[in-house]
Amino acid sequence: MQVTLENEKENVVKLDITVPAKEAADAYNNAVKRISQYVNIDGFRKGKAPRELVERHVGVDRIKQEALEGIMPRVLSQAIDENKLDVITQPYITSYNYNIGEDLKVVAKVETRPEVTLGDYKGLTVDVEDSVIADDAMDRALENLRTQHAESKIITDRETKDTDIVKIDFDGYVGEEKIKGGEGKNYSLDLAHSTFIPGFAEQLVGKKLNDEFTIEVTFPEDYHDEKLKGQKANFKIKINEISEKILPELNDEFVAKVGPFKTVDDLKADIQKYLDQSRENANKNNSENEIFKAAIANAKVEIPQSMIDREAQSLLAEYKNRLAAQGISWEMLTKAQGEKELLDNLNEDAKTRIKNSLVIDKIAKVEKIELERADLDKKFTELSAAYRISQQDLYKQISKNPEILSSMSQQAMNDKVRDFLLQNNTVNIVPPKKSK
């Protein structure tokens, strides 16, 4: 087999491949045998019809196509390996000349990995603002714990407070038109933590049990439903139940019920340990990010538009899936924010993601950083915990979709390279800047 390479635009390489006549003829004959196994030809059992009848029945062009499908994966793989091409896409055939008894001539194209020129990525010094613990962090943690173990008390003899939980019937209208999905029966609403339209929960304060009334609210200008943006709406409300949270007293008896603690001081020590670890983790993560950004900024790479387009399409598909899960369509979003701006942002994100990946791969290659079984095992453990599925179920999903394993491997390599960068650069943890 002979292969001639020609570099075309950007990172596209054209391969002119010549397959010897005998090899091409063997591929054609094997294709005839395969096709004869499933075609019905009068007077012959499947697989027994002579070549001439199979050609007449299905056509020579169809047989050549079958022969190419059988031989070209191996031929293309051999051409790529022998010429040490670092490809990023599957090669595709643009033309071929296939005559039995003659050499097979094939022209194929493939995209290769863009060349990355690394700048300084070791011996750097970066400043990272300290992720300080808020002064009231301990108080908030204790309050959250008490809230989680609060008891609910039904109230019948007073008006609602802004800390109460109410059960309501509601029915919404814009003018005379009923709001689609704007109704509920015996809906439980925490007045202190409402996610309803601004002003909704506030107008339920100061009401009594069984009160029926109407409130007026205005939908935000950035509301996801185009028809409701900025619209005034009326909601008919009925208070079915009022309850208040009774927080337990913070004492030794309480902390013994919520964990392996004997005293309040034991609990506070455990919370402080958690806060300190969170601070340390945040500083480490921010340090990795800043060093990584510096290494990326110092590297140079020309990214072909074809790569950007493919990555942007992948990001767009992911984005649309996330929107759909929230009940928002792409069309609704483009009306609100403008399609051009959204697509421009996706293109920039695609460039960033591609450059990050290329630089990571280049550093790994230069520094001979390789994945080990333990790296993938760690990633399996992380993903199974994050998605709350067993590792056995995760293995099953990967067996059905090998792309998941490829993504996991890339994430594991990202982690190793980021850790390498952290170990080979200097980070100064500095006090955070004061807000103006």
pLDDT tens per residue, range 107-123: 999 988 898 999 999 99
What's the average model confidence in pLDDT over 136-150?
A: 94
92 has pLDDT over 60: yes
Per-residue pLDDT at 42 = 67
Tally of CB atoms within 10 A around 79: 23
In a domain, 400, yes or no: yes
Dump pLDDT digits (tens) for 188-242: 999 998 989 999 999 999 999 999 999 999 999 888 787 888 999 999 999 999 9
Dump pLDDT digits (tens) for 148-162: 999 999 999 999 999
Per-residue pLDDT at 47 = 63
Task: Output the six-digit token pair for 366.
Answer: 């230069």
Both 29 and 100 in one domain: the answer is yes
Distances (CA, A) of 38 to 58, 65, 131, 354: 11, 16, 68, 45
271 has pLDDT over 80: yes
400 has pLDDT over 80: no
52 has pLDDT over 80: no
Amino acid letter for position 253: E
| Separation CA 417–CA 93 (nearest Å) | 36
Consecutive H or E run containing 64: helix 60-82
Q: Select from 246, 281, 314 the last residue of a domain.
A: 246
Q: Select from 113, 129, 163 the last residue of a domain.
A: 113
Amino acid letter for position 299: A
Both 414 and 266 in one domain: the answer is yes
| Beta carbons of 13 and 85 less than 8 angstroms apart | yes
Per-residue pLDDT at 434 = 76
CATH at residue 388: 1.10.3120.10
Name the CA radius of gyration of the chain, rounded: 33
Averaged pLDDT of the chain: 90
Per-residue pLDDT at 407 = 80
What's the average model confidence in pLDDT over 120-149?
A: 94
Q: Which comes out higher in pLDDT, residue 90 or 253?
A: 253
Dump pLDDT digits (tens) for 249-263: 999 999 999 999 999
In a domain, 68, yes or no: yes
In a domain, 142, yes or no: no
Of 32-46, 95-109, 144-158, 273-287, the range with the lowest mean pLDDT is 32-46
Both 314 and 400 in one domain: the answer is yes
Per-residue pLDDT at 88 = 84
**238 Cβ partners below 8 Å, 6+ apart?**
168, 169, 170, 210, 211, 212
Task: Output the six-digit token pair for 212.
Answer: 């029926």
CATH at residue 166: 3.10.50.40
Q: Are strands 426-430 and 125-129 parallel, antiparallel or unpaired?
A: parallel
Q: Select from 189, 214, 246 the last residue of a domain.
A: 246
Per-residue pLDDT at 171 = 96
Q: How many domains does the chain have?
A: 3
Distances (CA, A) of 185 to 163, 165, 169, 182, 193: 21, 15, 4, 11, 19
User: With left for phi above 0 and alpha for psi between -120 and 50, is residue 199 left, alpha or beta?
Assistant: left
CATH at residue 93: 3.30.70.1050
| Beta carbons of 254 and 248 less than 8 angstroms apart | yes
Of 82-91, 270-279, 379-388, the range with the lowest mean pLDDT is 379-388
Task: Output the six-digit token pair for 397.
Answer: 């999903």
Both 299 and 419 in one domain: the answer is yes
Q: Taking the mean position of all CA atoms in its chain, how far away is CA 52?
A: 54
| Separation CA 322–CA 316 (nearest Å) | 10
337 has pLDDT over 80: no
Of 89-93, 174-178, 204-208, 346-350, the range with the lowest mean pLDDT is 89-93
Both 14 and 94 in one domain: the answer is yes
The fraction of the chain above a pLDDT of 90, given in percent, is 60
105 has pLDDT over 60: yes
270 has pLDDT over 60: yes
68 has pLDDT over 80: yes
Residue-range definition of the domain harbouring residue 388 = 258-430
What's the average model confidence in pLDDT over 5-10?
A: 81
In the block, which residue shows the tokens 């909704």?
A: 200
Dump pLDDT digits (tens) for 28-50: 888 888 888 777 776 676 667 77
What are the beta bridge partners of residue 4? 16
In a domain, 120, yes or no: no
Angle at 411 between CA 407 and CA 415, to 5 degrees: 170
Both 374 and 328 in one domain: the answer is yes
The fraction of the chain above a pLDDT of 70, given in percent, is 98
| Beta carbons of 197 and 171 less than 8 angstroms apart | no
In a domain, 391, yes or no: yes
Both 68 and 217 in one domain: the answer is no
Task: Output the six-digit token pair for 91.
Answer: 């090669």
Q: What is the pTM of this model?
A: 0.70
Per-residue pLDDT at 50 = 74
At residue 19 the predicted structure's pLDDT band, cuts being 50, 70 and 90, is: very high
What's the average model confidence in pLDDT over 165-177?
A: 95
What's the average model confidence in pLDDT over 398-417?
A: 83
At residue 416 the predicted structure's pLDDT band, cuts being 50, 70 and 90, is: very high
In a domain, 31, yes or no: yes
Both 157 and 226 in one domain: the answer is yes
| Separation CA 181–CA 166 (nearest Å) | 20
Both 326 and 418 in one domain: the answer is yes
Both 287 and 353 in one domain: the answer is yes
| Beta carbons of 204 and 237 less than 8 angstroms apart | yes
**288 Cβ partners below 8 Å, 6+ apart?**
418, 419, 421, 422
What are the beta bridge partners of residue 108? 15, 93
In the block, which residue shows the tokens 């402080």?
A: 272
| Separation CA 288–CA 138 (nearest Å) | 27
| Beta carbons of 213 and 207 less than 8 angstroms apart | yes
E-strand ranges in 125-270 read 125-129, 151-155, 165-174, 177-190, 212-218, 232-246
429 has pLDDT over 90: yes
Task: Output the six-digit token pair for 289.
Answer: 């990010």
Both 295 and 424 in one domain: the answer is yes
At residue 436 the predicted structure's pLDDT band, cuts being 50, 70 and 90, is: low
Both 271 and 209 in one domain: the answer is no
